[in-house]
Amino acid sequence: MKIKPVFFDKTNISEEKEEKEETVSLETIDPATAEYYLSLNEKNRNPSMSKVSRYSRDMESNRWGTGDSAIVFDWNGRLINGQHRLMAIIRSGKAQKCIVRRGADPEEQTVMDRGLQRTFTGDLQIRGVENATWRGPVINALWEVLYNKKSAVATDKDRMSLLEEFEEPIKFVESMVYNFKKQMPGDIKGTAPYHALVVLLASKDRKKAELFYEITAVGLDCPKEGYLRSLRNLLSSKTVTGARAVAEVSHKSAKAILYFVKGDNLGILRDDGPGVPELFEELGISRRFIAETPMDHTPYSSNPRNIALRDGLIKTKTTQSSAARAIAERLGLSYKGIYSALNKAKNGKVLIPSRWDRILSEFGIILPE
Beta strands across the sheet bearing 79-81: 23-29, 96-104, 71-74, 79-81
DSSP, collapsed to helix, strand or coil, labels residue 254 as: helix
Which pLDDT tens digit goes with each residue over 35-54? 888 888 876 667 778 778 87
Full DSSP string of 256-311:
HHHHHHHT-TT----SSS--HHHHHHHHT------------S-TTTT-HHHHHHHH
Q: Is the pLDDT of residue 183 over 60?
A: no
Average pLDDT score over residue span 62-81: 84
- pLDDT confidence of residue 12: 44
Residue type (1 letter), 285:
I
Q: Is the pLDDT of residue 16 over 50?
A: no
Average pLDDT score over residue span 233-239: 76
Give the Cβ contact number of residue 220 at 10 Å.
12
Confidence of residue 8 (pLDDT cuts 50, 70, 90): very low
SS3 content of the chain, % helix, strand, coil (to 5): 55, 5, 40
Can you say how many angstroms the Cα of residue 178 is from the centroid of all Cα atoms in its chain?
A: 22
Which pLDDT tens digit goes with each residue over 240-299? 566 677 788 888 899 999 999 998 876 777 766 678 888 989 999 888 876 544 444 455
Residue type (1 letter), 12:
N
**Strands 23-29 and 79-81, bridge-based pairing:** unpaired
Q: Any bridge partners for residue 98, and if so which?
A: 27
pLDDT over 90 for what percent of the chain?
A: 19
- pLDDT confidence of residue 74: 86
Which pLDDT tens digit goes with each residue over 185-209? 444 445 889 999 999 999 999 999 9
Confidence of residue 117 (pLDDT cuts 50, 70, 90): low
